[in-house]
Structure formats: C-alpha cells, structure tokens
Amino acid sequence: MCTVCGCGTAKIEGAHKHDHSHDEGCGCNHHHHDHSHDHDHHHHPHDMHFGENEAGVSVPGMETKRLISIEQDILSKNDHIAAHNRVHFKEDGIFVLNLVSSPGSGKTTLLTRTLTDLKDQLPIAVIEGDQQTANDADRIRETGVPALQVNTGKGCHLDADMVAQARSRLDMPKEGVLFIENVGNLVCPAGFDLGEAHKIAILSVTEGEDKPIKYPDMFAAADIMILTKTDLLPYLDFDVAACLEYARRVNPDLKIFQLSSKNGDGLDQWYDWIKAGVDAAQS
Amino acid sequence: MHEMSLTQGVLNILEDYAKINGFAKVKTVWLEIGQLSHVEPEAMAFCFDAVMKGTIADGAKLEIVETPGQAICVDCAEELEIASRIAQCPKCGSYKLHISGGDEMRVKELEVE
C-alpha cells in the first residue's frame, strides 16, 4: 500500500511485490507523533448526553468518548519520505528535477532530446511515471540512459515513497541529474513533494495560453515553467506574452524557458541551467 | 482524483494515533482544509466514507473546517483575504501576492472511544 495513496496498485519495474511496510520508518530520529494529548474540548461545543454508551449508564470516571488533538498535516508522511529522499540526493550530489504537465505536452520528447544532447557530458538517469505501460521508459532507454518505469495503476501522481523505492532499484547518477517524469496530469501531482530540487511545469503552445490560470495550483507549486513546441507558433494563434503574463500572475517568481525539442531553439539556455544546477548540487 | 490518496493519508494518521493513544473506534474527524489547498472538500467528503469502510473509522463523521486564503501584496504590503491563487490586490491592482495562509490540509482533532 502506498504511503499516501494506498491504492496498492503501483508497480515498479523489476519489483514483484511492494516489499516494505511504510510503518517500518526510515531510521530517522524524528517522529511525527511526539505531540498528542487528550484534552477537554473547547472549540466545538456539543450538547451533553450521559448514559448513551452501550451499558446505558453513566459512571463517573468511565466516560468512553474522548477528544484527541492532532494538528498533523495530511501529507506529513509523504513529506517525511520526500525529505529523506532529498538527504540521499544531496549526499550523492544529484540534481533532481520533477517534470509535470498535461498528457501530450511533449515531456518525453523534450526528455529524450535532452538526454541525447547531454548524456556524454553528465551522469543521467530517469524515473518514468505512467499509469500503465513501460513505453516511455523504453523510449528513454533507446537513448542509452538508464530508466525505470513506475506504473501507478489507478494512481494519478507519483508519491515520495514510489521514488524512494525506485531510488533503490535504479543506479543513481552520482554528481549528475535525475529526471523524474511524473504522470501526465496538471492537477494531482501538485501537492506531492518527491524530494526534487525543482518542480518543472511543462506547457506546450498547442494547449492554450490560459492554462496557468485554469490550473493555478500546479503553476504555483512549480518554480520553473517550460513553454514547449515553440516551432509551431507560426501556425497557431497562441499569444506567448499573454501566457507568460498569466503564469506570472499565479507565480511571480516563476523562471520560464521557451524552447522547441524539434528545431532546438532555446535548448542551450535549458542545458546551461541544468549544468549550473548539477554544479551547485556538488557544494 | 488525488483526494482519494489524501483520504488514505488521513486514515494512516488515524491508525498511527490509535496505536499510540489506545483507541479502537473513531467517531468524528475534524479536518482543516485551506481554501488555497489542493483539496476539493466535497471530493474529500465523497472519498471519506469509501476509504474508512471496514477500518477503525467506519461510519465516522467528517467535519471539514475551511480556512480562508490569506495573502500579503508584495507591491503595497496590503493584507488581504483571497479565494483563489490568481487574485488581484484591491488596493494597488498587483497580482504579486505572497500566500500567507489558507493552504493547509491538516487532521485537526478526533473524537474517539
């Protein structure tokens, strides 16, 4: 069962079963549960009824119902595992990028082009998330770069535990870059930290310039945006300036690349940024 | 629908606390869900009954406390309540808002027996 999705259907290539319990913990010294206490309830006053328990009587000191204050983030388990992933990535000097977008934005095409151009300069590996099939991992492997497919089954996003498991099954590109291609979905992956250095939202010019304001959660969660398929701009009515303005409305700090995986426009800036990130990950 | 995953996360928290605090049944769960969080409260409520079935929280009541989105305008420092991430500062018209609250998704409190 997955950490937060619990769907029980996630499959990772090479794994025959989900072979560890999430209750085992990760050996870290911090716990989520060190602050919990029963207390009188002040915030939600209720009418008082005595003798409603199974015995139908009220006995002083034997009240069966009680209130427990918790104040715990729903994503705390995921975030805990993500933090753990991040520590491992930092130790190995790996620059990790989480790519998110709608299906069909050209994520895999951008990735295969990037891998082909950079694989002789940097250690690289790829974790591929899709609901079904290993087609994308196969496409990646054709470039000669190691890739691991994670099938989420009915799940609509990767979570930190899936990445933690994938991490142990894939040779990590020490002092290089790990790309995590999330499930094609512009909504669900937004809230799930995987331990990455950057969440990168990819938007293609065939999708409509108002996507950032239609799906603001993702563009707010990301800190990088890539506008792809710019070679098609002459054939479309896509308003680039409006798109960038919408994106910055949602997230004023967004760093934006514009590029074409097909004709290579804008790829140099993207590659320079990746190399600078890998350098910075070594310090 | 990621609310299903999040609801499973809620159940994980309940089960952890049941072990620590020694209770066998959850009667009510209070969640605090910010207006700017990644959760649609109605979808969460829909998932809740399904996910909790056959667990320590089978039949439990779900109470969602919604908190408003809060932001500070980066340009004029105005503090404001906002309903979405693409809001505009009513004072200076800027879209550059720093979100200061209302993005939480939290299990707040439980009634147990």
A251 CA: distance to closest CA in chain B (Å): 8
Q: Judged by CB atoms within 8 Å, which residues 187-246 of A form the interface with B?
A: 187-188, 190-192, 213, 216-217, 220
Report how far apart, in Å, the C-alpha atoms of B12 and of each of A72, A73, A85, B56, B107 are: 11, 12, 20, 11, 11
Per-residue model confidence (pLDDT) at position A155: 85
**Minimal Cβ distance to B107: which of A65, A70, A190:** A70
Is some CB atom of chain B closer than 8 A to the CB atom of A178?
Answer: no
B43 vs A16, residue with greater confidence: B43
How many domains does chain A divide into?
Answer: 1
Q: What is the pLDDT of residue A46?
A: 55
pLDDT, tens only, B43-95: 999 999 999 999 999 999 999 999 999 999 999 999 999 998 888 999 999 99
Task: Tell me if chain A has a CB within 8 Å of the CB of B53.
Answer: no
CATH number of the domain within which B87 lies: 3.30.2320.80
pTM over 0.95: no
Of B10, B20, B27, which has the smallest distance from its Cβ to A74's Cβ? B10
B59: domain range?
A: 2-112
CATH at A179: 3.40.50.300
Does the residue A237 lie in any domain?
A: no
Closest CA to A187 of A222, A162, A163, A160: A222
What span, in angstroms and rounded, lies between the C-alpha atoms of A155 and A192? Answer: 12
Give tens-digit pLDDT for A57-93.
555 555 678 999 999 999 999 999 999 999 999 999 9
For chain A, what percent of residues have pLDDT higher than 70? 78
User: Domain range for residue A117?
Assistant: 77-200+266-281
Question: Residue A194 falls within a domain, yes or no?
Answer: yes
Q: Give the distance from residue A65's alpha carbon to the nearest chain B alpha carbon, in angstroms.
A: 4
pLDDT per residue over A198-222, tens digit each? 999 999 999 999 999 999 999 999 9
Once rounded to an integer, what is the mean pLDDT over residues A126-143?
92
What three-state secondary structure class fits B37? coil
* Residue A36 in this model has a pLDDT that exceeds 50: no
Tell me whether residue A69 is in a domain.
no
How many domains is chain B built from? 1
pLDDT at residue A233 tops 80? yes
Q: Is residue A229 part of a domain?
A: no
Q: Is the ipTM of this complex over 0.85?
A: yes
